[in-house]
A = this chain, B = another copy of it.
């Protein structure tokens, strides 16, 4: 059975043009004028864009003594409702430390729930021979080409510099891409202790304990380590000018570093933590925390200039009850906010509608760039014959006020509550299936999503590897006669 998306304006990361899109089964089979199919999806007055890819979610993640409330089902359905057709979740090793077992566990959790396609980043939270070995299987057998490293959450997920170096070097060998959460965990912890000792227990102290300089420092450090190990690097949730500056500085030296701002950091600021309502502030607690307007300007400029490539959400949604674990102590508030459903509409409204971004840049930031980085382009992230029919009919005429009452996320609040957005997905298609139709009471289709395997050795990885091998420092050949015979 075929479907044709008719009368829309296709927007890719490259260009805009009017054309119809013919889908056969899961794939796009033709793009052109006057196409016909068994079914017609109307895209009149709308854009036809690649389905969004959110490369940073934590669904049902065990963390800080609890488990993120958003499930794979509710999360992927919220994603679909917002125009996102694939997400990449972070897979954490369990107590046995095994990477492969962790993937199995994640598969088990996700499999029957997911409404869209997913993939995982594998977290490296320690270092030993077994991890070194398993990494190869993770890449080659499981199709995961990214490894996440936490420079914060000391005593829990954090890894040390030598562990990062070892893992990054392993990534370089395997053609995989290391990711980092960049904050100096030692200093975060010290700041937390200092603040608590001073009686600062409220959610605003969460922000105080993680100033931008700590993030910039860690970004800078990770970049150096990646350069030493000879691998590209991807820095998640770049929230501030300091980290962005470190990225720019690296890139202008020819280093291959990617930066991912979150939609939250682009649009919300630190004053949220100063709200007199504890629950309001606690709901916004995430790491890194929101920053001020100056940082937002920096991030937006990064998206248009190319020093930042991807907009994600770090969706990690905890309920009010969970947030209250930190009522007496901000360090116990589970870190995380939502955004899966709002990412695309918020970025369009505050980016494209203001002229900060072109429509093409919007597509690049929401799907194409990350698809290339993750080495799954153009299966995902494009509108291209042969690619998966992960497509959104993006309607720039639907205006909506974000509200908990209408959201698909299962938590009881929304950090974008009250924000007006000026575009919404009219239809969201995942591999050819309409999984969301605006205003038509779409329902979750758990279990239809698939795990997407991602091959190693993306083009940037190969180029860097070539450069590094041509530029290894050379041994000086010395005449043994000139070398003293020792003592």
Contacts and interface: CB of A to CB of B under 8 A. Distances in A.
A463 B364 CA distance: 15
A149 B357 CA distance: 27
Contact of A186 (B161, B353, B377, B462): B161
B14 A254 contact: no
Given A356-B463, A473-B208, A304 B254 contact: yes
A31 B354 CA distance: 37
A16 B460 CA distance: 12
Contacts of A166: 190
A361 B460 CA distance: 9
Contact of A476 (B249, B254, B276, B463): B276
A216 B224 contact: yes
Given A199-B475, A228-B191, A467 B14 contact: no
Contacts of A354: 466-467, 470
A306 interface: yes
A355 interface: yes
Interface string A1-42: 000000000000111100000000000000110000000000
A251 interface: yes
Contacts of A398: none
A487 B324 contact: yes
Given A324-B487, A358-B463, A305 B307 contact: yes
A135 B184 CA distance: 26
Given A251-B304, A251-B306, A305-B306, 19 more contacts: A13-B14, A162-B186, A187-B228, A199-B475, A200-B473, A204-B475, A207-B473, A213-B228, A220-B220, A248-B248, A277-B478, A278-B482, A278-B483, A278-B484, A324-B484, A327-B483, A355-B467, A358-B460, A358-B462
14 contacts: A15-B459, A162-B187, A162-B190, A187-B225, A200-B473, A202-B478, A205-B473, A251-B305, A254-B297, A274-B476, A278-B484, A294-B294, A358-B463, A361-B463
